[in-house]
Amino acid sequence: MEKTNQFELTRNGKAFILFGSLFIILGMAIENYLMIIPGVLFWLIVPSTYISFLKSQKYSFDASVRVSKEYIRSRGLLSVVTEISNTSSSNIKARVSLRFSYHFECIDKPENIYLVLPSNSTTKIVWLLLAVRRGNGEVGPVEISVGPFQFLFRNQRIIDESIYIKILPQRPRINIPWKTKKELLMKMVHEFAQRVRGRGDEFFALRDYLPGDEVKHIDWFATARHDKLISKEYEDERNLHFLIYLDLGSTMFGPKFEYALSSIVELSSLIKGTNHDLAVIAYSDFVKRLIVPQVGKNELRLMLNLFDIEATGVQSNFIDAVKFTKTNQLLHSIAIIFSDLEGDLRRKLQGIHLLQSMGSRVIFVNFSTMHFNILASPDWMLEQAQDMNYRDVIKYIFPSLVEDEYKKREKEVRNILYTIGGDYLEIAGYDDNLILALYRLMKQYSPTHRLVQEALGI
């Protein structure tokens, strides 16, 4: 175990020596005992730290830190164990402090605790931490401070071990029963699987030949029978290929982005354990990250790739991301666009057209700025939002687009989607949920289906 010892008179300590002398000298000069007595107190305290330092020279520790998990979800719990063995022959009174990054909060016990370490024995301290923010969390180092007045004279043994912990996006708050999810998935397969046909090998039906069909798909026997060109239609293996375009642009900054990430988690929980697959393309002005299609069984692998994605401060370029998927042959999928109506709408519309030409089924999910009511100010982007607490974030919020402009844009997007047979979903604030929105969509396709509320048992 790597260990650093820190012994030093702090700036406070030096100031105390000087103040003490100043008070005493001044007090004696004008014969004022009011000043002499506090000065003497300052003089008393500094030597006491020296003496405790000399006494603590014979103390020897050995310590170790372990954590229960390497990765957890946001709002998940983590157990941290510190074992301190006191190998010297006397009891030690010490303050043990566990340092950790802002991603965590302590539960039931503060991070600094004062305890007596018995001689020749090992003390085990267990901290429970709650992950409060997504990202790359850090636990450690552990500081063992011996002796009084640490703010004057630092007398610490620091165990220089930092453990990095991946904190994945938060599990969605609304707890939707698995049965409902399964039902939704079945409906989605029913609605969408035919529309994304062409990628699989399984024979689906015969139909009239249409220009553009491949020649090898023509069923020559049927053609002979009917005396016209008949081609075979293949269907996908009834597996859905979800392709999520995650906007990392400046308008998706902050808690809104966290919510978009949670929605990905939600969608992946929908396909968990099935053979449907999910790919994520995170883009800003260029494609920042591609998480290659992961089938539902590898849901965790997908999650592990999501933990450190952050929104950037630049305008996003959707058309670029679509071109990227085209070159990577991610065609015929259900393209779900996680974005909003802010910024350059033209690029988004062009991208939607391109997606349609790639044979994808488009679902535009609008994380409505009107509902989330948050946009990042330029200050915030400069000051590295990563390193900020949510509590501080509130300061940087400013109002979004005016309502008329917003309505106009929404209409435009809806029109385009209507012409290409795509769908438009709106996530109305934090109370809404992607699964609920998908349910609403499915209800549009088959209105006879029982109500969403009923299905969710609300």
Partner 1 sequence: MTMRIRDKVFVEEWEQTTISDTGAPILALAHHLFGALALGIIVFQSAFSLNIYVFAIWLILGIIVLFIDFIRGTSLSLGNELSFGVIFILGTIISLVIGNVNSMFFPEILGRIDIILYQVSAGICVSIRFLITFFYVEFFSQRNYYVKPISNYTEDQVHQYKQNLIKTDFEYTDIKTQGLFQKWGEIFKQMLWPIIILTVLAAAGIIYSLIIYYMIPRNAIAELVIRPSLIIIALLYTYLLIRTNSVLMKIHEKGKSEEIDDIVPDDLEE
CA dihedral 148, 152, 157, 162 (to 10 degrees): 120
DSSP letter for each residue of 162-174: -EEEEEEPPPPSS
Q: Which of 62, 111, 138, 412 binds partner 1 (CB under 8 A)?
A: 111
Report the distance separating Cα 209 and Cα 215, nearest Å. 9
Asked whether position 60 contacts partner 1 by CB under 8 A, the answer is no
Q: Which stretch binds partner 1 (CB under 8 A): 114-122, 265-273, 329-337, 413-421?
A: 114-122
Least distance to partner 1 from the beta carbon of 291, Å? 24
Check if the beta carbon of residue 355 is closer than 8 Å to that of residue 195: no
Asked whether position 298 contacts partner 1 by CB under 8 A, the answer is no
Report the distance separating Cα 181 and Cα 193, nearest Å. 17
Report the phi/psi class of residue 272: left, alpha or beta, with left for phi > 0 and alpha for psi in -120 to 50: beta
Scan residues 203-242 and list those touching partner 1 (CB under 8 A): none
If DSSP codes are grouped into helix, strand and coil, which group holds residue 96? strand
Report the distance separating Cα 245 and Cα 258, nearest Å. 15
Size of the site for partner 1 (CB under 8 A): 84
If DSSP codes are grouped into helix, strand and coil, which group holds residue 422? coil
User: Nearer Cβ to partner 1, position 16 or 318?
Assistant: 16
User: Nearer Cβ to partner 1, position 124 or 216?
Assistant: 124
Asked whether position 10 contacts partner 1 by CB under 8 A, the answer is no
Q: Which of 1, 41, 292, 314 binds partner 1 (CB under 8 A)?
A: 41
Q: Which of 28, 186, 205, 402 binds partner 1 (CB under 8 A)?
A: 28
Check if the beta carbon of residue 45 is closer than 8 Å to that of residue 149: yes
Least distance to partner 1 from the beta carbon of 342, Å? 18
Residue matched to tokens 């008179």: 9
Check if the beta carbon of residue 263 is closer than 8 Å to that of residue 245: no
Q: Which of 1, 60, 70, 79 binds partner 1 (CB under 8 A)?
A: 79
Asked whether position 1 contacts partner 1 by CB under 8 A, the answer is no
If DSSP codes are grouped into helix, strand and coil, which group holds residue 119? coil
Q: Which stretch binds partner 1 (CB under 8 A): 49-57, 186-194, 236-244, 293-301?
A: 49-57
Check if the beta carbon of residue 56 is closer than 8 Å to that of residue 145: no
List the structure tokens of 367. Answer: 């994380």
Binding mask 351-380 for partner 1 (x = CB under 8 A): -----------------------x------
Least distance to partner 1 from the beta carbon of 84, Å? 11
List the structure tokens of 247. Answer: 């906007």
User: Nearer Cβ to partner 1, position 172 or 293?
Assistant: 172
Asked whether position 304 contacts partner 1 by CB under 8 A, the answer is no
Asked whether position 398 contacts partner 1 by CB under 8 A, the answer is no
Asked whether position 388 contacts partner 1 by CB under 8 A, the answer is no
Helix and strand numbers, DSSP H then E, in the chain: 14, 19
User: Nearer Cβ to partner 1, position 45 or 206?
Assistant: 45
Asked whether position 113 contacts partner 1 by CB under 8 A, the answer is yes
Q: Which of 2, 33, 221, 399 binds partner 1 (CB under 8 A)?
A: 33
Q: Which stretch binds partner 1 (CB under 8 A): 40-48, 280-288, 340-348, 353-361?
A: 40-48
Report the distance separating Cα 84 and Cα 79, nearest Å. 16
Report the distance separating Cα 268 and Cα 297, nearest Å. 10
Least distance to partner 1 from the beta carbon of 17, Å? 5
Check if the beta carbon of residue 97 is closer than 8 Å to that of residue 142: yes
Q: Which of 77, 186, 205, 451 binds partner 1 (CB under 8 A)?
A: 77
Asked whether position 458 contacts partner 1 by CB under 8 A, the answer is no
Neighbouring C-beta atoms of residue 109, cutoff 10 Å: 12
Helix (H) or strand (E) holding 208: strand 202-208
> Using CB atoms within 10 A of its CB, is residue 447 exposed (0-12), middle (13-18) or buried (19+)?
exposed
What is the β-pairing status of strands 163-168 and 71-73?
parallel
User: Nearer Cβ to partner 1, position 328 or 386?
Assistant: 386
Scan residues 246-265 and list those touching partner 1 (CB under 8 A): 255, 258-259
Least distance to partner 1 from the beta carbon of 345, Å? 26
Scan residues 125-144 and list those touching partner 1 (CB under 8 A): 125-126, 128, 130, 132
Q: Which stretch binds partner 1 (CB under 8 A): 4-12, 187-195, 355-363, 406-414?
A: 4-12
If DSSP codes are grouped into helix, strand and coil, which group holds residue 84? strand
Q: Which of 3, 7, 138, 229 binds partner 1 (CB under 8 A)?
A: 7
Least distance to partner 1 from the beta carbon of 8, Å? 7
Q: Which stretch binds partner 1 (CB under 8 A): 100-108, 160-168, 265-273, 322-330?
A: 100-108
Q: Which long-range contacts (CB under 8 A, 24 or more apart) does 226-230 make?
A: 230/206
